[in-house]
Amino acid sequence: MTLSDDLMRQRDEMCQIVGCVVFALANAGCETRLEAISNVLNREILDDCKWAPEQIRFMQLAIAQLYPEGSAHSLSSGQD
């Protein structure tokens, strides 16, 4: 797999993860703001027994894309 293939796969995985979160929030009648999406992802990351390490990495990358100035909303990085 080339670097560009790997980057495209990462992008696709992040988009799929964020899309699933947005649909779940919308179905639950919740707002789909960045903060809400980030909160869901952080809660899922904390439940690391539920996810493979690669899936956790994609969730962390998705949070970093939501907050490109630094993952200030990322509990997984030890910040809140």
pLDDT confidence bin for 80, thresholds 50/70/90: very low
Taking Cα atoms as reference points, which of 68, 74, 72 lies closest to residue 56? Answer: 74
54 pLDDT more than 70: yes
Residue recorded with tokens 């809140």: 80
Q: Which two tokens stand for residue 3?
A: 């670097």
Q: Which two tokens stand for residue 16?
A: 């799929």
pLDDT confidence bin for 62, thresholds 50/70/90: very high
| For the chain, domain boundaries | 13-66
- Comparison of pLDDT for 29 and 68, the residue scoring more: 29
